Amino acid sequence: MAEEEFKTYNGSCHCGNFSYTLTVPEIKRGERCNCSLCHRKGYFWFNVTPEQFKADEGTGELSSYQTSEGSSRHLFCATCGAGVMAKMPDESLMAVNLNTVKGLDRKSLEVKELDGASFGEPYKTFDVPTDTIDALDLPDYKTYTGHCHCGDVKVAFKSPDLYAPTTFVVSDNCSICAIHAYVIAYPERHHYQITGIENTTAYFMGDKYADRAAAACARQNPGVLPPEAEGVSDEFEGD
């Protein structure tokens, strides 16, 4: 392909600690994967070669997480939790999270679905304690449970049926929610139970968003607040 057909894209994690430049043919589609890590992290993948990816000069380091030994390394910012990319074990191929690319109209991109959940060993989920919320007298509520990928942080909450049209479930387009592709439920105070809160780190987007601090597992940083209820979303305009 001729040199002039390549475009330059800039990307970064949310806090800007890590930034990069891509030189690739125009990005027209991305890939979503249903595996245990990708759906938690909200990854929207785009494959690049190591030559097409360049970390910006003076940029910070990323932390890494593997779902199993010998699997690809997922690289994320330890400050803001944004998953930036993944590298195959031999580093011959890498994938960038399009949620971190600036100025990209992600809704206009073609989406390819990957069935990563069917590859390799099935993911083993963890038991989630619900004793505190079980004691609540909420007969019409359902109990939802979830946890981060490594199991260090677990969350359980009581809520009206998340699939009911009257229940407020949000997929927000603000900068932090877009990077993590959060799907957010709003259990009332005292209707949730978090186990392993000491294993989380908090990230604040500034005073305006102090209420949106995301508690995330320190080991691989998926936000723990989104439940594992997929396909439940309403769009609303954030800022």
User: In terms of CB distance, is 59 or 167 closer to Zn ion?
Assistant: 59
DSSP state of 209: G
Distance from C-alpha of 104 to C-alpha of 120, rounded to nearest angstrom: 32
Contacts of 176 (CB under 8 A, 6+ apart): 14, 80, 182, 203, 205, 209, 212, 214
Distance from C-alpha of 71 to C-alpha of 61, rounded to nearest angstrom: 20
Site residues for Zn ion, window 86-145 (CB under 5 A)?
116
Do residues 80 and 17 touch, judged by C-beta distance below 8 A?
Answer: yes
Site residues for Zn ion, window 28-47 (CB under 5 A)?
33, 35, 38
- Per rule CB under 5 A, is residue 79 in the interface with Zn ion? yes
Binding range to Zn ion, per CB under 5 A, among 48-56, 75-83, 162-170, 171-179: 75-83
Closest CA to 80 of 55, 67, 63: 63
Backbone angles phi, psi at 54, to 5 degrees: -135, 120
Residue among 109, 150, 170, 174 that touches Zn ion (CB under 5 A): 150
Binding range to Zn ion, per CB under 5 A, among 51-59, 79-87, 130-138, 185-193: 79-87
Residue among 152, 155, 196, 226 that touches Zn ion (CB under 5 A): 152
Binding range to Zn ion, per CB under 5 A, among 6-14, 66-74, 83-91, 190-198: 6-14
User: In terms of CB distance, is 68 or 166 closer to Zn ion?
Assistant: 68
DSSP state of 176: H
Binding range to Zn ion, per CB under 5 A, among 72-80, 83-91, 97-105, 170-178: 72-80
- CA dist 127 → 1, 59, 175 (Å): 51, 39, 32
Residue 148 corresponds to which tokens in the numbers above? 């981060």
- Per rule CB under 5 A, is residue 196 in the interface with Zn ion? no
Residue among 10, 17, 52, 201 that touches Zn ion (CB under 5 A): 17
Contacting positions for Zn ion (CB under 5 A): 13, 15, 17, 33, 35, 38, 77, 79-80, 116, 148, 150, 152, 217, 219
